[in-house]
Copies of this chain bind each other. A is one copy, B any other.
Amino acid sequence: MILAEVTYITIGKGVSAANYVKSALEYFKRSGVRYYPNSMSTVLETETVEEAFRIIAGAENELIKSGVPRVETIIKIDHRVDLENSVSRKLEAIGEKIQE
């Protein structure tokens, strides 16, 4: 399993990005991917890195199509093959729980 953390920073459309973040979250929802938003980014769980990038690119292109002239996308991929990686396993390993 791949964990992919993504932050979209929209530039040229005012100071607030909340509406654009909401549209990216709606894109993730429609795609069927498991996604975990927090105050600075959203973590996606996918089977492959290609799947993570396909979904990240899709939401980014929707932001551009909606009229945003520039998007800086910051991504962190945790690609681990020595064990079955997941959001819940990583949280348990540090004594935390998944946000319901």
* Chain A residues at the B interface, C-beta cutoff of 8 Å: 3, 5, 7, 9-12, 14-18, 21-22, 25, 36-41, 43, 49-50, 53-54, 56-57, 60-61, 64, 69-82, 87, 90-91, 93-97, 99
Contact = CB atoms under 8 A, between A and B. Distances in A.
Given A41-B5, A94-B37, A73 B79 contact: yes
Contacts of A53: 50, 53-54, 56-57
Contact of A82 (B12, B74, B79): B12
A49 B61 contact: yes
Most buried by B among A10, A25, A69: A69
Contacts of A74: 74-77
Main secondary structure, interface of A, reads mixed
A91 to B, nearest CB: 5
B77 A72 contact: yes
A69 B80 contact: yes
Residue with the highest number of chain B CB atoms closer than 10 Å, among A12, A41, A70: A70
